[in-house]
Amino acid sequence: DIQMTQSPSSLFASVGDRVTITCRASQDIRNDLGWYQQTPGKAPKRLIFAASSLRSGVPSRFSGSGSGTEFTLTINSLQPEDFATYYCLQHNSYPYTFGQGTKLEIK
């Protein structure tokens, strides 16, 4: 099974900051990775697909990069609505696996 290691588990930042979250896969998953955002009490929302493609309607301050085993989610110029928990998900092969999550909090 493919393991996803996500870091950091929590992150404190201010409005306007730039932050980066990393996911590492235990084996090559090509670009079969998505990033999801979850706010309290809500279902997750897909932000990025194919490692670096932005879902329609998602602000351009979000970006993804990487392939193979190393992936990053970058948020430029943080906005108040961006403070949430973020997860990566590998869908290269069953069983799919999420990263442990990164809780982004206001400093």
Partner 1 sequence: EVQLVESGGGLVQPGRSLRLSCAASGFTFDGYAMHWVRQAQGKGLEWVSGISWDSGSIGYADSVKGRFTISRDNVKKSLYLQMNSLRVEDTALYYCVKDLWFGELHDWGQGTLVTVSS
Compare residues 14 and 94 and give the one whose CB is closer to partner 1.
94
Q: φ, ψ for residue 10 (rounded to 5)?
A: -145, 155
Question: Which residues of the shown chain bind partner 1 in the complex (CB under 8 A)?
Answer: 1, 32, 34, 36, 38, 43-46, 49, 85, 87, 89, 91-92, 94-101
Beta strand segments in 4-106, E: 4-7, 10-13, 19-25, 33-38, 45-49, 53-54, 62-67, 70-75, 85-90, 97-98, 102-106
Shortest distance, CB of residue 16 to partner 1, whole angstroms?
Answer: 28
Compare residues 31 and 72 and give the one whose CB is closer to partner 1.
31
Compare residues 31 and 76 and give the one whose CB is closer to partner 1.
31
Shortest distance, CB of residue 22 to partner 1, whole angstroms?
Answer: 16
Compare residues 45 and 61 and give the one whose CB is closer to partner 1.
45
Distant-in-sequence, close-in-space partners of 12: CB < 8 Å, separation ≥ 6:
105, 106, 107
